[in-house]
Amino acid sequence: MVEQMGRAFQSRTGYYRKAMEEYELDWRSKPQPYKFYPYAQVISLPNPTQALEAGTVTDLWTCIAQRRSVRSFGTAPLTTDQLSRLLWASAGTTSSFSTPTGQGFYRAAPSAGALYPIETYVVVNRVEDLEPGLYHYRVTGLDILERPMVEGSHALEQLKAGDLSKEIMQAALDQPMCAKAGVVFVWSAVFARSVWKYRDRAYRYVYLDAGHMAAGLSLAAVGLDLGSCPVAAFYDDETNALLGIDGQEEGVLYMTAVGKPARPFAGKGRVDLRHTSRPKE
Ligand SMILES: Cc1cc2nc3c(=O)[nH]c(=O)nc-3n(C[C@H](O)[C@H](O)[C@H](O)COP(=O)(O)O)c2cc1C
């Protein structure tokens, strides 16, 4: 039964040369690719690109070679600077473009049709100078005419205060790493943003978008001497409830736990790009 559902999804969301339907996009009904919590406390984040300007980044090849899923985290907190860079590397804006409905922003990760259906939430367990709790990443601010603007962007909106480490662990099929991580990134899709253009096929694309964001995050974590592990094993209803989303209009897709590795990587600094191996955590 389950297998049939998966097969039906794959086949019914396929493109077939002889059965391509033509339809016009209605730009007036294009959803905005931003979500705001207007009553939340907004916490600005440090400039994430300072390290790039200062030239203190780990080179890409080393990050790729050293990335491994890390599931054992120590008790040391992340810094807000690290959190800021992780958010930017996975979901931040990098340049702007024009659309028939106004200015848009390209982001660090690619997105089908530049529709950016993915929202980023972070469950903060241990981050310096940041109260534990649930936060939503504000990608950009909007001006009075609801046009996106740079000011007010790259900030956190505080949704819940308090220790949520147990809740996020339980939601993630009781995986202890989610309680031990300094922070757990949780990605949801606002399906309508992508459905506007791609209709049922959008349900394929949102997962791909989230995967790109997770990939950026995992490489950025290595560059910051942090460990990370993707998590797709979670109870959808419990995770949606934790985020305060309905699972229909907006639903959880994916997570990543990030923290200071409990054990340093023995191969650090001795990367052999022909063959790299790293013990499993
Ligand atoms: C879509 C996806 C879902 C995953 N979900 C989990 C998970 O729920 N729990 C977990 O411990 N690891 C999870 N992983 C991590 C994989 O187990 C890991 O990537 C794999 O063993 C390869 O190891 P590596 O990441 O160190 O290269 C997931 C990875 C992916 C790509």
Q: How confident is the model at residue 264 (pLDDT cuts 50, 70, 90)?
A: confident
**Lowest mean per-residue pLDDT among 3-12, 37-46, 99-108, 171-180:** 99-108
Q: Is 72 in the pocket of ligand 1 (CB under 6 A)?
A: no
* CB of 208 closer than 6 angstroms to any ligand 1 atom: no
Instruction: Report d(CA 242, CA 244) in Å as an integer.
Output: 6
Model confidence band, residue 67 (pLDDT cutoffs 50, 70, 90):
very high
Does ligand 1 have an atom closer than 6 angstroms to the CB of 219?
A: no
By residue range, what is the domain housing residue 243? 43-259
Looking at the domain assignment, is residue 203 inside a domain? yes
Among 38-42, 143-147, 210-214, 268-272, the least confident range: 268-272
Number of structural domains in the chain:
1
pLDDT at residue number 9: 97
| Helix (DSSP H) and strand (DSSP E) numbers for the chain | 9, 11
In the sheet that 227-231 helps form, which strands lie side by side, from edge to edge? 41-44, 155-161, 133-138, 118-124, 183-190, 250-259, 227-231
* Residue 229 in contact with ligand 1 by CB distance below 6 A: yes
Q: Is the CB of 233 under 6 A from ligand 1?
A: yes
DSSP conformation class of 1: -
- pLDDT, one tens digit per residue, over 86-119 is 999 999 999 988 877 778 899 999 999 999 999 9
Q: Is residue 91 part of a domain?
A: yes
- The predicted model gives 71-82 an average pLDDT of 96
Position 139 in a domain = yes
d(CA 269, CA 277): 13
CA of 237 to the centre of ligand 1 (A): 21
Average pLDDT (201-211) is 98
Q: What is the pTM of this model?
A: 0.93
- Rounded to whole angstroms, the Cα distance separating 181 from 178 reads 5
Note whether residue 247 is domain-resident: yes
Could you tell me if residue 272 is inside a domain?
A: no
Structure tokens of 179?
A: 């309680």
Q: Supply the CATH number for residue 234's domain.
A: 3.40.109.10
pLDDT at 150: 77
pLDDT at residue number 276: 47
pLDDT value, residue 54: 63
Quick check: is 17 in a domain?
Answer: no
Closest residue by Cα to atom 23, ligand 1, is 69
Which residue, among 227, 182, 258, 259, has the nearest Cα to 68 in the 3D structure? 227
Residues 6+ apart with CB under 8 A from 207: 253, 254
- Residues 6 or more apart in contact with residue 157 via CB below 8 angstroms: 36, 37, 40, 41, 42, 43, 135, 136, 137, 138
Q: In angstroms, what is the span from residue 228 Cα to ligand 1's centroid?
A: 10
